[in-house]
Structure 1
Amino acid sequence: MMIVTTLFLISYLSIIDGQYLQMLQTVQSTINHNTATLSIMLQEILRRLPKDQNIAALREVAFGKRTKQSSDDYRWPSVAVDGNLNSFSRTQVEHSPYWEVDLGRDYLIKRIDIFNRKDCCGDRLHDLYITTGPAHNQMYPCAYYKGPGRTGEHLVFKCHHSKYARYVKLVIKGKESLTLAEVKVYAQDD
């Protein structure tokens, strides 16, 4: 209703000696000026905020690293760390399918992002255990995701333990196919 009223008002105003055009130009100029002023104010506020030295910078450490998974269903595990959200890794339907990345050295892992497939099958991601560790026989829980996931979903998991890890492993408990578009592992910058 408000749109119809506004259109009627605009039509009426445009008839009256071109005053509508002048008024519209004035409003647009004011909005542009206010937007620029707010942007400058925000930049100044951010510049003046004290930097917290206790907040560590995180960097992504899994891109292009060596991967493996419990089985291959015409999709290789390495595509889950290739930076392309349109590709995906996939295991066969099996009991406790897993995917793992070897980071090459130990990192203090703080966060793991998982991107679900964009085209279908998001609900396959469920009952997911995420573990990290310095060796295959020393894996520690990072997070658990009950699910089910949604197609195209971006999930973020924070690892609250303070353990260094070289390996990140994702395991679905139960019979399923583990499908991942992308996995990003964020570690504290040394």
Structure 2
Amino acid sequence: MKHFISKTSSDEAFVLFHGTGGNEFSLLFLTGELNPHANIISFIGSVATGTHRRYFAPLIDGKIQIEDFNARVDEFLNDWHSLDLNYNKITFIGYSNGANFIQGIIEKDPDIANEIILLHPQNSGFNIKNPGRINRILITTGANDPLVVPGNILSLKNNLSQTFHNVKLIITDGQHGVDDEEVLAIKNWYDNK
């Protein structure tokens, strides 16, 4: 899977997964707010829907095409483990399609990161039973997001809370996008260790 890396002298890294139609630079504005000195590894979705990039095939009748999805997660994990990475703190950040992809990744490899930030995800029914080394998870959405059903995201928070001790859900007034209010809420969560 193609990726872009920005190396610094920091022992912290952000690993980024854009939303449908995004690119490797889509979430840089957020990492700059959280820690502008951190290393960045940004993965580019390898599935095309028209001109839009995604991490896995589009849903059919609201459901993930599980064989394709698992193959994409395995491809990512193979690529990830071939990288020479040595960071004390790794935070995975995904938006929409990227956030859903992260859920499949941590189901298979919960030792991959220390913290997870899921921006506007869906509850796709992943069965994550092992907390691995993940210390905390943040889930965000906008109250007016037409793609994220409130009951669905609350169910995701409840499901993750059965495995992880520190799961927080933040709902702002926004829509399907990360606005200034949401960035501030994420930064407050991130800084409050």
Q: Please indicate, yes or no, whether the TM-score normalized by the shorter chain is above 0.5.
A: no
Give the TM-score range, shorter chain.
under 0.3
Higher relative CO (Cα under 8 Å, sequence separation at least 6) belongs to 1
Quick check: which has more Rg, 1 or 2? 1
If the length of structure 2 is used for normalisation, what is the TM-score?
A: 0.22
